[in-house]
Structure 1
Amino acid sequence: MENRQSGEYSEMVHAQAELWNLTGIHTLVDVGGGTGALAKAIIHNFPHVECTVLELPHVIQSISNDGPVNFASGDMFNFIPPADVVILKWILHDWCDEDCIKILRRCKEAISSRETGGRVIIIENVIGSTLSKTCQEAQLLTDMLMLTMFTGAERDEHEWQKLFTDAGFGSYQITHTIGFNSVIEIYP
Structure 2
Amino acid sequence: MLTSQGRIENMDWNWKHLNFKKDEKRIVHMVKLEDGIEQVHLFDDDSIAAVNAAVAARRPLLVRGEPGTGKTQLARAAAEKMGWAFIPTIVDARTEADEMFYTMDAVTRLGKAQAAAALGVKDKAEVEDLLDEKKYVIPGPLWWTFNWESAQNQAEFARAESIPLFDSG
Greater Rg over alpha carbons, structure:
2
TM-score using structure 2 length: 0.26
TM-score using structure 1 length: 0.24
Higher relative contact order structure (alpha carbons within 8 Å, sequence separation ≥ 6): 2
